[in-house]
Amino acid sequence: MSNNVKNSPHSESVEKKTLIISAPAREGELTVASHIIQSGGLVVFPTETVYGLGANAYDDCSVMRIFKAKGRPSDNPIIVHVAKPEDAENFAYTTPLFYKLARAFMPGPLTVILKKRINIPAPVTAGLDTVGVRCPSHETAHKLLSLCKVPVAAPSANISGRPSPTKATHVIEDMDGRVDAIIDGGECEYGIESTVVLPTGENSVKILRPGAVTADALRCVCSDVTLADGIDGSDVEKPLSPGMKYKHYAPRSPLILLDGKREDVVAFVASEMKQKSCLFICYDEDAAPFGDRALTLGGASDESSHAHRLFDCLRCADEIGEMKKIDVIYTYMPAAGEDGLSPAIYNRLIRAAGHTVMKL
């Protein structure tokens, strides 16, 4: 450990006392949080996608603490957050396409991969020569980033492998005692992580991770939008986004996706419930017969609600599983289409289920 770390007010200790800042965070409290980041500490903050676990992106020791707090593999790079798109100039080589995307989608749930400058330490980018840039629209995130005056490296604030946190209670469950502060910002608006895009030409991008900025929306700005291999959860030897190769989002009980007509799925789960201890992650309309064994995603046609509720349902399933034995969690096989939020929901669910699909 370097002297720098030993002398830091935020040096490694097994268990930290975590400051919880309740919603709505006041300016003074955000100033305190920004000082924690500036002096090398870790702060969890809300964004419009999921909660982020932030540290000063210029400080490699602080960034290493993120990996430790999450139990994150060191070859998975971290996105860098800025208050304004222009702030990316300080640590990345911006391009006209970056500004075109920024004008259309920032602040908001989009991350753009750019060539990095030398001042971004290697742990942030896991040794890659690129860096992901994101400018969140969440008011608290924006205020905090403005006060920090340094770019903030922040992955999702979950223990690696667990569903991303969309509520402060999720964050407290995973991160209390591991970070210096947690800012409660209520429920995250989108509930799934940002769309990650890699510019592949003057006016073209490849989607490395689908999110709330959809392929169709990107097509309004870029002439060519493609999906990276493996985005559908299939195995690729060397994914362009290293995070894609990890088992992710999995609840502790096995999750099975049921591929069939909706009424057949409901009938199958009803018959399974008679023999097994099951949970059903389902649409509001299908929930009534299952009582407290149903975890609801919202109305059947309300895709934004499915995205918003998905990680919370997976975490609720874990909570119930702690109190009583759960043999299996069922949900519908999501549509694999290219439109709207479908690719994003499909990508998260197929990985949460470890590809376990049952054809009905």
In the complex with ligand TXA, the residue whose CB is nearer, 56 or 125, is 125
In the complex with ligand TXA, the residue whose CB is nearer, 154 or 255, is 154
**Which positions lie near ligand TXA, rule CB under 6 A?**
47, 49-50, 52, 76-79, 111, 113, 125, 128, 130-132, 134, 154-156, 193-194, 196, 208-209, 240-244
- Minimum distance from CB of 314 to ligand TXA (Å)? 15
Stretch that binds Mg ion, among 25-33, 77-85, 153-161, 266-274 (CB under 5 A): 153-161
Tell me if residue 315 falls in helix, strand or coil.
Answer: helix
Query: Binds 128, which of ligand TXA, Mg ion, none (CB < 5 to 8 A, cut-off by type)?
Result: ligand TXA
Q: What's the token pair of residue 329? A: 């969690």
> What distance in Å separates the CA atoms of residue 200 and residue 82, rounded to the nearest whole number?
23
- Minimum distance from CB of 277 to Mg ion (Å)? 29
In the complex with ligand TXA, the residue whose CB is nearer, 233 or 243, is 243
Stretch that binds Mg ion, among 5-13, 16-24, 100-108, 154-162 (CB under 5 A): 154-162
156, 253, 305, 347: residue in contact with Mg ion (rule CB under 5 A): 156
Distances (CA, A) of 314 to 150, 161, 261: 34, 12, 22
The yes or no reply on residue 34 touching Mg ion (CB under 5 A) is: no
Find tokens 């289920």 and name the residue.
353
Distances (CA, A) of 247 to 141, 239, 259, 348: 28, 13, 21, 10
> What distance in Å separates the CA atoms of residue 144 and residue 155, rounded to the nearest whole number?
16
In the complex with ligand TXA, the residue whose CB is nearer, 52 or 163, is 52
For residue 260, the Cα-to-chain-centroid distance in whole angstroms is: 29
> What distance in Å separates the CA atoms of residue 304 and residue 297, rounded to the nearest whole number?
10
- Minimum distance from CB of 244 to ligand TXA (Å)? 6
Tell me if residue 341 falls in helix, strand or coil.
Answer: coil
> What distance in Å separates the CA atoms of residue 311 and residue 317, rounded to the nearest whole number?
10
Which stretches of the chain bind Mg ion, using CB under 5 A? 156
